[in-house]
Amino acid sequence: MIAVKDNQPKLHNHIQRVSLERKPISSDIRTEKTRDRITTRKVEVFDDLNGISPEWAGIKSLVKVERTGTRGGKEYHEVVCYISSSTLKAREFSQGIRGHWGIENRLHWVKDVVFHEDDSKILAGNAPANLSIIRAIALNILRRNGHAFITSAQRFLSNDIDRILCLVE
């Protein structure tokens, strides 16, 4: 499954057009309340592949996800389109997309916000990739040792080498 963004305008427009002109072969609507958010996700699956460039060989499904709700008391609405080489029901696509965002929130967001990965000035050679791997290992070690809040764990451990070494024993 691949997200289709504005950098693929023909494919993106095709999915948008199909979603307006055709009835989905499967749809799933779920509403969820977490903390200060209320989100309704509508996932629709389409199989109208007529007019898609042959360079996109292997596509079997077009997926449109519409999210509406409130975040911090403010309303939002967003639409994301995907292509897939699978033929799944909307509920299955929804679970896969949510699973991906779980990974995004638990790994990439933490690496960026807590470890400031995107602000790193280390850009040469293999160093950025190597440091990214080291950050992921550190994150996994902290989580394996029961630290759910990484910022708190950093503060707790930062000046105690013995505690840090106990994490990897």
DSSP, residue by residue, 79-110: EEEEEESS---HHHHHHHHHHHHHHIIIIIHH
Does residue 155 lie in a domain region?
yes
Which residue blocks in the chain are alpha helix, DSSP H? Answer: 9-21, 90-103, 109-113, 127-144, 150-157, 161-167
Q: With pLDDT > 90 as the criterion, what percentage of the chain qualifies?
A: 30
**Domain stops at, among 103, 127, 144:** 103
One domain for residues 64 and 120: no
Residue with the two structure tokens 């790193």: 120
One domain for residues 65 and 135: no
Domain that includes residue 56, residue range: 1-103
Does residue 55 lie in a domain region?
yes
- The answer to whether 75 and 62 are in contact (CB under 8 A) is no
**How many structural domains is the chain composed of?**
2
Q: With pLDDT > 70 as the criterion, what percentage of the chain qualifies?
A: 93
Residues 36-76: tens digit of each pLDDT? 788 899 999 999 898 888 888 899 999 999 999 988 788 99
One domain for residues 11 and 92: yes
**Domain stops at, among 103, 135, 154:** 103
Does residue 99 lie in a domain region?
yes
One domain for residues 98 and 169: no
Does residue 29 lie in a domain region?
yes
153 Cα distance to chain centroid = 24
